[in-house]
Structure formats: structure tokens, C-alpha cells
Amino acid sequence: MKAPKGKFVWTATVGEKGQIVIPKQARDIFGINPGDTIVLLGDIKRGIAIPPNGAFNHLLEQAFSDKESDDE
């Protein structure tokens, strides 16, 4: 079965220290480099997801902006 365009599946092995290695093809596609920090989202029913870099930028900008809210 051929995967739909832009969809990928990889496997990773968890080491003794609980570490995983992200496959090279995945790192290349998503621009993950040594020293980068990634976010893992977990859901008991749906599993673990790693959102793309920058996925939360807009939310963080709003949360940490210097603008005063109307509630103050």
C-alpha cells in the first residue's frame, strides 16, 4: 500500500534510558537538528504526537506579549 502524498510512518526503538532516535529521513523532512527541543503531546487513546517546529509560536506570542489585556 502506498502512503498518501506528504504522509509518513517511521519506527523508533526506545533505549535503556528511555531515549528514542528520530529517523534521519524524519529529521531531514522536519528540520530537526542536534540540540533542538521538541514537544511531545500524549493522549492515552490516540498515542504520542510531535508537532512541527513553530506550531505553538502564535499561541506563545499571545501568552507572553507585553500588551495589557482589557481585563486589567
pLDDT at 51: 86
Residue 6 included in any domain:
no
Q: Are 69 and 62 in contact (CB under 8 A)?
A: no
Residue 42 included in any domain:
yes
pLDDT tens for each residue of 3-45:
788 888 888 889 999 999 999 999 999 899 999 888 888 999 9
Residue range of the domain that includes 45: 37-65
pLDDT at 69: 57
Residue 47 included in any domain:
yes
Residue 12 included in any domain:
no
Banded pLDDT at 68 (limits 50, 70, 90): low
Residue 24 included in any domain:
no
Q: Are 2 and 8 in contact (CB under 8 A)?
A: no
Query: What is the count of structural domains for the chain?
Result: 1
Q: What is the dihedral of CA 12, 13, 17, 21, to 10 degrees?
A: -30
